[in-house]
């Protein structure tokens, strides 16, 4: 597996309004509170200085489409980043041999890692088991209005 390309998750993505519907079976139980609405969440990384946790969503079986989610640890809401809310800008200087953006319909996010950068920009690595078995590299720019 090689690093395939760089994409940018702009600050606007941190404030998207698309909410994932929570299931009714998500009520608190035995003193535990749950965050529901994610499909096959495989890995989690905290975005420093924000309430955000990035979660991967593996495509598997009846869940043919994978995801990258944003979970707000304060209010327990879930937003979908991928598919549909990623802006792709390939870093041809670093990843010139990359064939381009992944097919979001075949995306399958598994492991995650976050390289902390400045307060305004981090690098998110996502193991992608979709059509090309790759490590996708994203620039994550948290919205300063959404700091912890």
The per-residue pLDDT for range 55-77, each reduced to its tens digit, is 998 877 666 778 889 999 998 89
What is d(CA 4, CA 76) in angstroms, rounded to the nearest whole number?
Answer: 32
Average pLDDT of the segment spanning 88-117? 86
pTM score, whole prediction: 0.75
Counting Cα atoms < 13 Å in the Cβ hemisphere of 11 gives 10
The rounded distance, in Å, linking the Cα atoms of 129 and 148 is 32
The whole-number pLDDT of residue 72 equals: 92
Share of the chain above pLDDT 70, in %: 77
d(CA 10, CA 141): 5
**% of the chain beyond a pLDDT of 90:** 16
Asked whether the predicted pLDDT for residue 112 surpasses 90, the reply is yes
Is residue 135 within 8 Å of 123, Cβ to Cβ?
no
Give the pLDDT confidence score for residue 12 in this predicted structure.
Answer: 36
Structure confidence at residue 62 (pLDDT): 67
Question: 88 with 136: CB under 8 angstroms?
Answer: no
pLDDT for 61 equals 67
Strand order in the sheet with 3-9: 3-9, 134-140, 121-128, 109-118
Query: For the segment 20-50, what is each residue's pLDDT rounded down to a tens digit?
Result: 443 446 788 888 888 888 888 889 999 998 8
Report the Cα 64 to chain-centroid distance in Å.
Answer: 17
């Amino acid at each position: 597996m090689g690093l395939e390309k760089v994409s940018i998750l702009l600050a606007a993505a941190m404030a998207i309004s698309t909410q994932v519907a929570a299931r009714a079976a998500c009520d608190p139980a035995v003193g535990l509170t749950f965050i529901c609405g994610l499909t096959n969440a495989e890995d989690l990384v905290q975005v420093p200085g924000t309430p955000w946790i990035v979660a991967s969503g593996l495509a598997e079986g009846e869940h043919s489409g994978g995801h990258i989610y944003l979970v707000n640890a304060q209010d327990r809401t879930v937003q979908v980043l991928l598919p549909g809310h990623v802006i792709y800008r390939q870093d041809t200087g670093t990843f010139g041999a990359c064939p381009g953006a992944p097919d979001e319909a075949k995306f399958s996010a598994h492991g995650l890692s976050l390289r902390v950068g400045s307060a305004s920009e981090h690098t998110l690595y996502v193991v992608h088991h979709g059509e090309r078995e790759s490590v996708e590299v994203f620039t994550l720019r948290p919205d300063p209005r959404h700091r912890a």
